[in-house]
Amino acid sequence: MAATLPILKRKKEKKMENEFRDSIATVNKQGKRNWIYAKRPKGELYTIRSIVSLLFFIVFFSLPFIQINGRPLFLFNILEERFILFGAIFWPQDFFIFGLAMLAFILFIVLFTMAFGRLFCGWVCPQTVFMEMLFRRIEYWIEGDAAAQKMLQRAPWDTSKIIKKTSKHILFFALSVVIANTFLAYIIGVKALGEIITDPLSEHAGGFAAMLIFSGVFYAVYAFFREQVCTVVCPYGRLQSVLLDKDSVVVAYDHIRGEPRGKFSKNEGDCIDCMQCVNVCPTGIDIRNGTQLECINCTACIDACNHIMEKVGYPKGLIRFASENGIATKKPLRFTPRMKAYSVVLLLLTTAVTFMLISRKPVSGTIIRTAGMLYQERGTDSISNLYRIKLVNKTTAAVQLRLKLEDAGGSVEVIGNPHIQVKAEGQGEGTFFIVLPRKHIHKRKSSITIGLYEGNKQVGSKQTTFLGPGL
Ligand code: SF4
Ligand code: SF4
């Protein structure tokens, strides 16, 4: 009986240690929302994060206004299937590049996360950057730090509370309108957005409704839903459990150095159990419990703990960027062969997609042999096939295109105007014959190449088949 008591005690301790896994910090035992009042972070990393966020804001809010040759630098017009990346227009025909770019992007995220953890979430994800660097700051400015916010929440609805809460929500909504409009500018372009704002409401009722819906969604997210986006909704966050392993570098608590935690006892570890790391956490977790899905790697707990370590005269870095294996083996953070390998793959992927973007032809299209027709006899020595061509001009200038058979021995006869006109960023089409001498036809179905020329410069080429009588 005496021997079973320590076992039972250890089991109970183990159960208590893992209890945090049975619930999320933002929901209480009754299943209701546990509002997170995160203490205002400060420290070296928060300063760097603020600078990164400032750069993010400059890029995010200015990109829709930057134009190259009269085109926006970026446009993601899903409604009209028109996409512009770095000033280059993409049509549905280019979707294989878009698909590849998306695949490369997903692979990039997977590899990056396996090597460097969820760094993206805390530092450059728009949700976190807007929440922590704009909305949360407004809240600190109006309502004060976490303790003051809690007090205000419990206080009766007097004039001061009404003024504070109302002004906060008015500012939140105004900011949401600005963010929503900027996102809309990425989708429909600044010009179209300007028209929605300045023209009479009746002319753009749909656009105005979209603007209001977007603004309302952003306001609801930042005013009420907040960290739930990262902890409950975000699919990337959900993927962490399969992407991370013991070598992934994450924000981690050095349990070997910190445990057993306690308040300044010689026999204890370095963690003085001050709870500052928990108080600053915007997702409400205790990082000392180990890597958790809710951790967005914002590093606020690193700053908070470093501050405490400095105060009590212990070395900094009790919470730091480290891998589980790194902490267990007490080895400092280093650029491991795995990180190097993943970085090389990431670089190759980025180079491949960039090459595809740069080497994309300015004019593309499709050539189809007229359905239901075989071939036509041209006198005694030639055979012709009838084709239809559809062209897409991806440049900002109109083009006049000439077709030329690249395979020797034959010719192209365009019906009507010998040049096919395609307006800027537009589409054009034409009908033409390919005439081949019988002596060049050796098979029933041969592959031929048709060059697209603007003047003497080849701007594209297409392959198609030529149908002959056979041998
Ligand atoms: S801030 Fe540091 S010392 Fe304080 S509880 Fe967290 S880990 Fe322990
Ligand atoms: S545990 Fe630390 S890094 Fe993770 S979300 Fe909380 S404060 Fe940010």
Q: What is the pLDDT along the chain (471 residues), one digit of tens a residue?
A: 444 545 555 555 555 555 555 666 777 777 788 899 999 999 999 999 999 999 999 999 999 888 877 778 888 777 777 777 777 777 766 777 777 777 778 877 877 887 777 888 889 999 999 999 999 999 999 999 999 999 999 999 999 999 999 999 999 999 999 999 999 998 888 888 888 888 888 888 888 888 899 999 999 999 999 999 988 888 888 777 777 878 888 899 999 999 888 876 666 789 999 999 999 999 999 999 988 888 999 999 999 999 999 999 999 999 999 988 889 888 776 777 777 787 788 788 788 878 877 777 778 888 888 877 888 888 888 999 999 998 888 777 888 888 988 876 888 999 988 888 888 878 888 899 999 988 888 888 888 899 888 888 888 888 898 988 866
Q: Say which ligand is closest to the CA of 286.
A: 2
Is 447 inside any structural domain? yes
Spell 68-84 as b/e; 16+ CB within 10 A means b. eeebbbbbbeeeeebbb
Of 343, 360, 377, which marks where a domain is finished? 360
Residue with CA at minimum distance from ligand 1 atom 4: 274
Q: What is the pLDDT of residue 21?
A: 59
Say if ligand 2 is within 6 A of residue 190 CB. no
Written as six digits, the tokens of 461 are 């080429």
Of 307, 332, 360, which marks where a domain is finished? 360
**Same domain as 92, residue 153:** yes
Residue with CA at minimum distance from ligand 1 atom 7: 271
Q: What is the pLDDT of residue 29?
A: 75
CATH number of the domain enclosing 435: 2.60.40.10
**Same domain as 393, residue 334:** no
Separation of CA 388 from chain center: 39
Is 237 inside any structural domain? yes
Say if ligand 2 is within 6 A of residue 287 CB. yes
**Same domain as 328, residue 392:** no
Say if ligand 2 is within 6 A of residue 131 CB. no
Atom of ligand 2 nearest to the CA of 297: 3
**Same domain as 416, residue 449:** yes
Gap from CA of 298 to ligand 2 centroid (Å): 5
**Same domain as 413, residue 288:** no
Is 176 inside any structural domain? yes
**Same domain as 327, residue 192:** yes
Is 276 inside any structural domain? yes
Gap from CA of 56 to ligand 2 centroid (Å): 20
Q: What is the pLDDT of residue 372?
A: 78
Written as six digits, the tokens of 163 are 């003024």
Gap from CA of 158 to ligand 2 centroid (Å): 35
Is 110 inside any structural domain? yes
- Convert the pLDDT of each residue in 94-117 to its tens digit: 777 777 777 778 877 877 887 777
- Convert the pLDDT of each residue in 328-367 to its tens digit: 888 776 777 777 787 788 788 788 878 877 777 778 888 8
Gap from CA of 284 to ligand 1 centroid (Å): 14
Q: Give the residues surrounding ligand 1 with Cβ less than 6 Å away.
A: 253, 258, 271-277, 288, 304-305, 308, 318-319
Closest CA to 401 of 324, 457, 466: 457
Say if ligand 2 is within 6 A of residue 121 CB. no
Reduced to 3 states (helix: H, G, I; strand: E, B; else coil), residue 340 is helix
Of 337, 360, 383, which marks where a domain is finished? 360
Q: Do the beta carbons of residue 125 and residue 112 sit within 8 Å?
A: no
Is 98 inside any structural domain? yes
Q: What is the pLDDT of residue 265?
A: 62
Say if ligand 2 is within 6 A of residue 301 CB. yes
Q: Say which ligand is closest to the CA of 41.
A: 2
d(CA 197, CA 95): 32
**Same domain as 324, residue 384:** no
Residue 304 is part of which domain span? 32-360
Say if ligand 2 is within 6 A of residue 25 CB. no
Gap from CA of 39 to ligand 1 centroid (Å): 14
d(CA 231, CA 213): 24
Largest CA distance in the chain: 110
**Same domain as 214, residue 175:** yes
Taking only Cα atoms into account, the Rg of the chain, rounded to an integer number of angstroms, comes to 32
**Top mutation candidate among 45, 255, 272 for ligand 1, by most atoms within 8 Å of CB:** 272
Residue with CA at minimum distance from ligand 1 atom 6: 277
Residue with CA at minimum distance from ligand 2 atom 2: 301
Is 10 inside any structural domain? no
Say if ligand 2 is within 6 A of residue 305 CB. no
**Same domain as 308, residue 339:** yes
Written as six digits, the tokens of 298 are 């914002």
Reduced to 3 states (helix: H, G, I; strand: E, B; else coil), residue 219 is helix
Please give the tally of structural domains in the chain.
Answer: 2
Gap from CA of 302 to ligand 1 centroid (Å): 9
Is 18 inside any structural domain? no
**Same domain as 393, residue 260:** no
**Same domain as 444, residue 321:** no
**Same domain as 390, residue 349:** no
Say how many C-beta atoms besides its own lie within 10 A of residue 197's C-beta: 12
**Top mutation candidate among 277, 295, 302 for ligand 2, by most atoms within 8 Å of CB:** 295
